[in-house]
């Protein structure tokens, strides 16, 4: 069991079924976990960052970490990934993101012609879960009130914070699909 009761971890889930289906397994492994249900990503919350921010309103003030999970992240590997991410988070980092390497072929295109391939070395696709330090996230939001990227890790990096990576797991379709790239 990973005890996070002092951290006040929040799990926010796009699917209303996830806290019921996976909440027990998460609470069993992570003592002190708070699960907050929120609406789905859609017109009211068009990006993952907007969705996460909407859930921050319900986070108890003593919570020090915020974790974004969705049904895709929870299904086969979310609980294990979350444990690895919490263990990997260092005091110098603003957060940790789960990532999988880019495996699709990428091409540079000029108009209607392919100009060449793109080297995928060092490229990754961020996935949920993402573990973020609440105070750093809230400070970054205040500092970037007029322009915000679509995801929390980019927001933190643009503010000069270090974000760690935990490799592995299966890609989450919502994160890696063309439709999911807008989130």
**Domain housing 137:** 2-182
**DSSP one-letter string for 45-96:** B-SHHHHHHHHHTTS-TT--EEEE--HHHHSSSHHHHHHHHHHH--TTEEEE
The half-sphere exposure of 57 on its side-chain side, counting CA atoms within 13 A, is: 8
In three-state secondary structure terms, 105 is coil
Closest CA to 68 of 123, 133, 136: 133
- Number of structural domains, the chain? 1
- Mean pLDDT across the stretch 90-117? 93
Most confident range, picked from 4-13, 65-74, 97-106:
97-106
* pLDDT tens-digit readout, 125-154: 888 778 888 888 888 887 877 777 777 888
Question: What are φ and ψ of residue 128, in 5° steps?
Answer: -85, 150
CATH at residue 43: 3.90.550.10
pTM for the model stands at: 0.69
């Amino acid at each position: 069991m990973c005890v996070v009761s002092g951290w006040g971890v929040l799990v926010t889930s796009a699917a209303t079924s996830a806290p019921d289906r996976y909440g027990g397994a998460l609470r069993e492994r992570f003592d002190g976990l708070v699960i907050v249900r929120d609406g789905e990503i859609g017109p009211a919350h068009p990006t993952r960052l907007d969705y996460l921010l909407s859930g921050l309103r319900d986070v108890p003030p003593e919570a020090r970490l915020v974790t974004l999970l969705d049904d895709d992240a929870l299904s086969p590997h979310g609980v294990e990934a979350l444990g690895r991410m919490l263990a990997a988070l260092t005091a110098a980092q603003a957060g940790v993101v789960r990532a999988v390497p880019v495996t699709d072929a990428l091409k540079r295109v000029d108009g209607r012609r392919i100009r060449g391939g793109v080297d995928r070395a060092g490229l990754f696709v961020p996935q949920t879960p993402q573990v973020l330090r609440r105070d750093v996230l809230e400070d970054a939001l205040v500092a970037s009130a007029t322009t915000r990227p679509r995801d929390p890790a980019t927001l933190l990096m643009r503010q000069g914070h270090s974000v760690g990576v935990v490799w592995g797991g299966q890609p989450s379709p919502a994160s890696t699909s063309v439709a999911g790239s807008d989130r």
